[in-house]
Amino acid sequence: MQFNHLPLKMLGATVKMMGLAAIAILIACTPVINQRGYLADPIQESAIKPGTDTKTSVQDRLGYASTTATFGTDSWYYISSVEKQVAFFTPTVQSRSILAVHFDKDGKVTDLRHFSLREGHVVALETRETPSRGRELTFLQQLLNATPGSSATPIQQSNPGNGGGPVP
């Protein structure tokens, strides 16, 4: 008589295991939200006044900038972004904000501007490579050329400033 109840017990255990597996899968697929970069503080940002605040006072209030301008005007950029990642998929940017602080030649604030993801532009990176002179060596060729005690023959190069003659 007890054998008749054994399949029901096994069925109940199987259902419980499937339920736990389903819960584990759902937990694994829960999106992860990451806040990266500068954490905006509207009170500190509103306290910065153009014409009166300097680089030192801005750094005291906001901390170090995420990046600075390389060319042109002297500017500091405070960048923050929120990314969402589900399981092993590539993260997607949910929001991005940039606070640009511009300075004059004396180091005083001239302007504060806010940018978001909508004002951004997609930049297409160039994938072509510039060809170089010579030939590419395989790993084995490099290994054999670097053997101690062997005399490697020097490659003659032409010197463009020397009329095409050999390099001295």
Over residues 12-48, the pLDDT tens digits come to 788 888 888 888 877 778 888 999 999 888 999 999 9
* Number of domains within the chain: 1
Confirm whether 44 is domain-assigned: yes
Confirm whether 99 is domain-assigned: yes
Could you tell me the residue range of the domain that residue 47 belongs to?
32-119
Between 84 and 9, name the one with better pLDDT. 84
Confirm whether 108 is domain-assigned: yes
pTM passes above 0.85: no
* Residue 56: predicted pLDDT: 94
Between 106 and 137, name the one with better pLDDT. 106
* Residue 161: predicted pLDDT: 54
DSSP string for residues in the chain: -GGGTHHHHHHHHHHHHHHHHHHHHHHHTS-EEEEEE----HHHHHT--TTT-BHHHHHHHH-S-SEE-SSSSEEEEEEEEEEEE-TTSPPEEEEEEEEEEEE-TTSBEEEEEEEEGGG----PPP------SS-PPPHHHHHHHT-TT--PPPPP-B-GGGTTPBP-
pLDDT reading at 88 higher than 80: yes
